[in-house]
Amino acid sequence: MAQATNVGGHQSGLAATLRKDNWWFEAAWTGIGFLIFAIYTTWAALQGDHYWHGSYLSPFYSPVFFTDPSAAGAAPEAHAWFGLFPDSLKAIWPSFIPLSPAILILIGPLSFRMTCYYYRKFYYRSYFMTPPACAVGGRPQKYKGETAILVFQNIHRYTLYIALTYIVILYYDAIISFSRDGELGIGVGSVILLINPTLLAFYTCGCHAFRHLVGGQLDCFSCSDSAKSRYGIWQKVSNLNSRHMLWAWVSMIWVGLTDLYVRLVSMGVITDLNTWGS
């Protein structure tokens, strides 16, 4: 007599599953890891100080639109795109939020990260549990994709251009970090600042939207020289794309550590090894 075999689906109820592996582990470490990053980033962005040392600029504060040089470890006025904080901005700024240069610019990179396909996957799993893993029961509110309020996730393909612009800006910061008071040199901080946009480029260039940008809407990859070039770039981008999760985490951790390094050097907690001796 034929025996019924269960070949798919999952048991209903939160966390109910037939899986025998540690399916919860990925949801747990990604959820906790990102929470730590979010808490540190929020704290660092609200400080408004110790984001500059010599020629080192924390990536959380780049680009500096306005500065308040009276704050410890703040960027000099010459390095701010629009100089000092204008009185008109101070007048309308809510008193319960510190007026920090980082607050004005962090929405750019955050809008890219938070709408990334990989980040959506992990935070829908870790925080919303819709569901927490494949073949595991989730909360009754099912994942509905990019509908209703979540339709804003579609801005990802546009925030890609913001992310690409940031990479250029952060490379500029890295290059000027090799010069201090007109003297060329090198320090541990300059190397850290140079690695930062490189890791961000690996993450950004592996973006699904970037992959579509370089190789999408082509019916034939070998029909013209330009199509062949795009195919070559698309293959490289696809390599990065296949490790998108890795680059997402490595670049995110590095950007946080870069801020921490600049902060600790600026506060005098650690000494930067460099050729300038300062």
On whether the CB atoms of residues 60 and 51 are closer than 8 A, the answer is yes
Interface with ligand FES includes 207 (CB under 6 A)?
yes
- Note the helical H segments in the chain: 24-47, 87-92, 107-114, 117-126, 156-176, 188-205, 208-215, 225-242, 244-267
Least spacing, CB of residue 245 vs ligand FES, in Å: 9
Alpha carbons within 13 A on the beta-carbon side of 104: 18
Residue 59: Cβ within 10 Å count: 24
Phi/psi of residue 70, nearest 5 degrees? -75, -15
Least spacing, CB of residue 212 vs ligand FES, in Å: 10
Q: How many residues does the structure list for the chain?
A: 278
Q: Name every residue whose Cβ is closer than 8 Å to that of residue 235 and which is 6 or more positions away in sequence.
A: none
Least spacing, CB of residue 201 vs ligand FES, in Å: 12
The answer to whether the peptide bond before residue 109 is cis (omega within 30 degrees of 0) is: no
- 114 vs 175, beta carbon nearer ligand FES: 114
Task: By CB under 6 A, name the one of 205, 209, 252, 265 that touches ligand FES.
Answer: 209
- 136 vs 207, beta carbon nearer ligand FES: 207
In the block, tokens 């980082």 appear at: 102
- 175 vs 250, beta carbon nearer ligand FES: 250
The count of residues interacting with ligand FES (CB under 6 A) is 8
Least spacing, CB of residue 256 vs ligand FES, in Å: 17
Least spacing, CB of residue 250 vs ligand FES, in Å: 13
- 117 vs 123, beta carbon nearer ligand FES: 117
Interface with ligand FES includes 244 (CB under 6 A)?
yes
- 209 vs 214, beta carbon nearer ligand FES: 209
Closest alpha carbon to 262 in 181, 170, 184: 170
On whether the CB atoms of residues 102 and 48 are closer than 8 A, the answer is yes
The token pair that represents 100 in the structure block: 């920090």
Interface with ligand FES includes 174 (CB under 6 A)?
no
Interface with ligand FES includes 212 (CB under 6 A)?
no
Residues 127-166 that bind ligand FES (CB under 6 A): 156
Task: By CB under 6 A, name the one of 104, 198, 208, 212 that touches ligand FES.
Answer: 208
Task: By CB under 6 A, name the one of 57, 102, 116, 201 that touches ligand FES.
Answer: 116
**What residue ranges bind ligand FES (CB under 6 A)?**
116-118, 156, 207-209, 244
